[in-house]
Structure 1
Amino acid sequence: MSTRAGSSARRAASSAGNSRALQILARVGFAASALVHILLGYLAIRVAVNQGGESSDQSGAMAEITKLPGGAIVIWVVVVGLFALGLWLIVQAVLGIGSTSDKRWVRSLIPAGKAVAYIALGVTALTFAQGGSTSNSDSTQQASASILSLPGGPFLLGVVGAGAAAIGGYFVFKGVTRKFEEDLRMPSGTTGKAVRVLGVVGYVAKGVAVFVMGVLIVVAAVTVDPSSSTGLDGALKSLASLPFGVVILVAVGVGLIAYGVYTFVRARFARL
């Protein structure tokens, strides 16, 4: 009975994954993610040159979207796209579980993790679409405090931080080795060359930002101080405090913009 139920679930997931409407919405989700990353890069550069002290994380990017011409409409498109992309990734995770491949756990865990990230970003966008506001930095600190209050909390938070740092490292690896090309139907000629450059620069920059964010979470775990866990905003601003920090942060900001442009291209050429 359970086998038949599992087969039915996989058939339903396969049917949903092949849905033309869901695939189109997933591409809209990639475009929404692209816009968010371009704005993240813009905010990082503003922080680097001391032209703004506003949040340089996802909530700051959402606030910037609402300021755009037609921002009230754009933010709702972002909400729909991000939730749709999260749903499509959940479908891919289900299909990964049912795969006969030796790497089926990878085919499941990676899209599941991405789904959680996109849905969380969609929730942030939804808050702004409804006229509210939120702070990802505060949310990260509150989540860290909640984990620290659990039995073995510092260890658990350390594992979360190490996982985030590992993800950042994987982004760098994916950029340097150009594994991101497997996600695309790569265009040829000059366009293809430009996409490769954007992908390499973008993945490395995002990897650095996520890695630093993971390190800050580990610091919060070791010191049992949730105020050290400040999310992406804290990670970017901590880069500015390093020697040559302004140059580093501007480079990361440019890289995040490159990642955003690459993701716009992915919206068109992604293998779905």
Structure 2
Amino acid sequence: MTSEGARIVGAGRAASKSRQMEWAARAGLTARAVVYLLIGVLAVLVAQGRPAEVDQKGALAEVISHPFGGWLVGLAAAGFAGYALWRLSEAAFGVVGKGRAVGPRVQSFARGLIYAFLAFSAISLLQGSNTGQSTQQKGYAAAVMAHPGGRWLVGIAGAVVVGVGVALVIEGLRLTFMRNFSALPARVRTLVTQLGRVGTTARGLVFALAGALVVAAAWTYDPDKAGGLDGALKTLRDQPFGPVLLTLVGLGLVAFGLYGLAEARYRRV
């Protein structure tokens, strides 16, 4: 590496550890937490029969329909962009507590791309786009499956999401998410532990179901089954005892949102 290249890399590494990046990370974690709180509440309402799109964009659409909602969605977009920037900086320069290990950096890269897309979705909502996230995902799945080998790609993507969901369930049950925190007051640690256990497990179950639906879409060549988070939750609703199950999952996602607020405050970044 040339001296100029080393200087650029050094500057990038310093920026990834800066106070400004820390605030970007905390803003992003806060935005994520608030959105999951809203998704959880919407899931409970859908279980009671209210029509709504139960995913990140649906939650933001609910916000924008209220006074000052546009400003709040704009703040969420900025938060998602900050989260994406933080995760991509981790992918480039290493993850706190895990150094430059490849696995965590790949995870951070994927999370960065996802939240960059969410930032774009929030901005498109501000610009008047009414296309739901679930509809977009079905359209993407249909476009990919129209190409040779596309069904395999969609199926593999779904299997990866299932794997992420299973990993989150294991993380929730084993409480490994607590490694993101250093010193916490005893009462706060107990509350964060319980909220994280319930919330992370619920989030993992929803991810696993969403991924399974994507695999089913590829298997049956039916992109309408690839409905993402919204499709997963509404599939759950349509099962025996579905409203009860969806209410429990919604409350679990609310727990994840509350845990996320604590993470935004106390996480090591």
Aligned structure 1 segments of 4 or more residues deviating by more than 3 angstroms: 4-10
Instruction: Indicate how the Cα distance of structure 1 residues 64 and 152 shifts in structure 2: closer, same or farther if over 3 A, else same.
Output: same
For the Cα contact (< 8 Å) 1:86–1:118, is it kept in 2? yes
Aligned to 2:59: 61
2: CA distance between counterparts of 1:172 and 1:81? 26
Q: Displacement, 1:25?
A: 2.1
Q: Displacement, 1:107?
A: 2.8
Aligned to 1:125: 122
1:6-155 correspondence runs (5 A): 7-50=6-49, 52-96=50-94, 104-155=101-152
Aligned to 1:214: 211
For the Cα contact (< 8 Å) 1:124–1:134, is it kept in 2? no
1: CA distance between counterparts of 2:118 and 2:215? 22
1: CA distance between counterparts of 2:183 and 2:157? 34
Which amino acid counterpart does residue 65 of structure 1 have in structure 2?
Answer: V
Aligned to 1:167: 164
Aligned to 1:231: 228
For the Cα contact (< 8 Å) 1:26–1:82, is it kept in 2? no
Q: Check if 1:264 corresponds to 2:269.
A: no
Which amino acid counterpart does residue 236 of structure 2 have in structure 1?
Answer: L
Q: Check if 1:204 corresponds to 2:201.
A: yes
For the Cα contact (< 8 Å) 2:87–2:108, is it kept in 1? yes
Q: TM-score, normalized by length of structure 1?
A: 0.93
Q: TM-score, normalized by length of structure 2?
A: 0.94
Aligned to 1:183: 180
2: CA distance between counterparts of 1:5 and 1:217? 45
Instruction: Indicate how the Cα distance of structure 1 residues 104 and 8 shifts in structure 2: closer, same or farther if over 3 A, else same.
Output: farther
Q: Displacement, 1:6?
A: 6.2
The superposition leaves residues 188-231 of structure 1 with CA deviations (integer Å, 9 ceiling, x where unpaired) of 22111010000000001100111110000000110011111111
For the Cα contact (< 8 Å) 2:98–2:104, is it kept in 1? no
1: CA distance between counterparts of 2:121 and 2:170? 28
Instruction: Indicate how the Cα distance of structure 1 residues 6 and 222 shifts in structure 2: closer, same or farther if over 3 A, else same.
Output: farther
The superposition leaves residues 14-71 of structure 1 with CA deviations (integer Å, 9 ceiling, x where unpaired) of 1111221221122111111111000100111111111x11111111101122134432
Q: Which segments of 5 or more consecutive residues in structure 2 lack a partner in the other structure? A: none
2: CA distance between counterparts of 1:232 and 1:269? 28
1: CA distance between counterparts of 2:116 and 2:148? 28
Which amino acid counterpart does residue 203 of structure 1 have in structure 2?
Answer: T
Q: How high is the sequence identity, in percent, across the aligned residues?
A: 33
Which amino acid counterpart does residue 63 of structure 2 have in structure 1?
Answer: I
Instruction: Indicate how the Cα distance of structure 1 residues 184 and 10 shifts in structure 2: closer, same or farther if over 3 A, else same.
Output: farther
The superposition leaves residues 149-189 of structure 1 with CA deviations (integer Å, 9 ceiling, x where unpaired) of 12111111110000011011111111111111111235222
2: CA distance between counterparts of 1:56 and 1:217? 17
Q: How many residues align?
A: 268
Superposition CA RMSD, Å: 2.0
* Residue aligned with 1:121, SS: helix
1: CA distance between counterparts of 2:62 and 2:183? 31
For the Cα contact (< 8 Å) 1:202–1:258, is it kept in 2? yes
